[in-house]
Structure 1
């Protein structure tokens, strides 16, 4: 049972996605407090599923791929909740948000064209972007404020997506857990490097 903890954490985050949308839609203003708690729990589950999997030596490519796709579902659900509660904030930043969604689609499209698989880089810049997303969405849902934090999140998201696209283009074959485009270039050149045991699979 202990070895199933990482998988359970991933499915917990997947379960949170529809709950977050339903609460925002039906409870409106009254949902804000509980939504902030659920988003925090989702972030914690995302941080610890990989760490625990590596500690228990049950980390696998399949688990990492599932983790990536559930992350996407979770954050899209949170963004939908933000739109339900504060549509005006997202409307003010719609160009940047649409650009981010397009770049996310582009990452998947390029990965499928090159490798017939979805992207699963778990890159360092993307991990930081996850923290930006958390901060921005909590700010919107908890306090009704987007402001400079949301703009920084959009800018960082664009940079991290460009990094992922470069990783996909540089890799000679599909791999998961590539820290950055710099490391993808090392792989392309056949130069070995050591990954962080805390952040990535070996």
Structure 2
């Protein structure tokens, strides 16, 4: 899991350093990220099905929110989500820690709850971004930046995160 996350982090950094990052590449990266996390969740489910049964409501809500992000993006723009929001990057780190804890102990209470609420907050932010921007845009750091983009203003991008 850790190696997969590290490769996900560094593939974007390397692509930006080599100036080969493009909107299509960012869209593909988002799709691969989804597959990566679905694979981890499937593996955790096989190993610890009771954890998923005990937390079915929260997990279902997270999945529904993620699906909502994709639905809104497809309905509005005909493309999948590729905001790569900074808050989502932090959520990914908490998600990784949660999945490691679940894999090791088949249990997670405090970390899972942090992961759940942070996941909901980041999905709400992404939905907000998708409703604010006028046309599909990748690499939107925050909802504040979505307002700037909507108003035709340039945004400052960080080379490591979204640039």
Q: TM-score range by the shorter chain?
A: over 0.9
Partner of 1:12: none
Q: Greater share of helix residues, 1 or 2?
A: 1
Higher Cα Rg, which structure: 1
**TM-score (ref. length: structure 1):** 0.78
Partner of 1:107: 69
**TM-score (ref. length: structure 2):** 0.96
Give CA deviations for 1:163-190 in whole Å, capped at 9, x if unaligned: 0000100001101000011110111122
CA shift for structure 1 position 191: 2.8
User: Per the alignment, in what secondary structure is the counterpart of residue 61 of structure 2?
Assistant: helix
Q: 4+ residue stretches of structure 1 with deviation over 2 A?
A: 142-145, 190-193
Rounded Cα–Cα distance in structure 2 between residues aligned with 1:94 and 1:148? 16
Counterpart pick for 1:150 among 112, 116, 123:
112
Q: Aligned pair 1:47/2:9, yes or no?
A: yes
Aligned residues: 163
Runs (5+) with no aligned partner, structure 1: 1-38
User: Per the alignment, in what secondary structure is the counterpart of residue 51 of structure 1?
Assistant: helix
CA shift for structure 1 position 145: 2.6
Structure possessing the higher relative contact order (Cα contacts under 8 Å, 6 or more residues apart): 2
Runs (5+) with no aligned partner, structure 2: none
Q: Where do residues 102-181 of structure 1 align in structure 2 (5 Å cutoff)?
A: 102-181=64-143
Deviates more, 1:80-89 or 1:114-123: 80-89
